[in-house]
Amino acid sequence: MKGLVDCSKVYVDDATGKGAGAFAAVDIKEGEIVETGIVRRLPDGFDGHASPYVFTWSEDRTVWAMGSGCATFYNCDASSPNTKMHRNFDDDSFTIVATRDIAAGEELLHTYKSLPWRGCFEDLRADG
């Protein structure tokens, strides 16, 4: 059965030293879809620059959204991420794809789109 949200290959658990994190529930091959989901746009005037728990949801950096499934628990790795999020702003959906083979139990990591410019991620930047 297909739905708007599918995070059946992912679970959330403690990621030592990082709080909660997303992990592969099964082996995942490079190029395979890890998770699909939807977002809810936050009201006009919401400032996501201070909150690390929302997604940048526009190219002009003015729209913010809350994500479904396990997507909000993927931690950041700027040097060797194993997933990439593809955003579809037109229908407020996303797809997360494996950038390499991932073993069951491995933490799922991606590089946050807004890592270079959001203040809430300053401590994650190499130059921060």
The CATH architecture one would assign to domain 10-124 is Beta Complex (2.170)
Q: Where are the domains of the chain?
A: 10-124
Q: Which residues pair with 98 in a beta bridge?
A: 83
For residue 50, pLDDT over 50 is answered with yes
Residue 125 exposed, middle or buried by CB count within 10 Å (0-12, 13-18, 19+): middle
Task: Say how far apart CA 22 and CA 126 lie, in whole Å.
Answer: 22
For residue 128, pLDDT over 50 is answered with no
pLDDT category of residue 68 using cuts at 50, 70 and 90: very high
Task: Say how far apart CA 63 and CA 73 lie, in whole Å.
Answer: 20
For residue 56, pLDDT over 90 is answered with no
For residue 12, pLDDT over 50 is answered with yes
Ramachandran assignment for 17, one of left (phi > 0), alpha (psi -120 to 50 degrees), beta (any other)? left
Q: Residue 84: what pLDDT?
A: 95
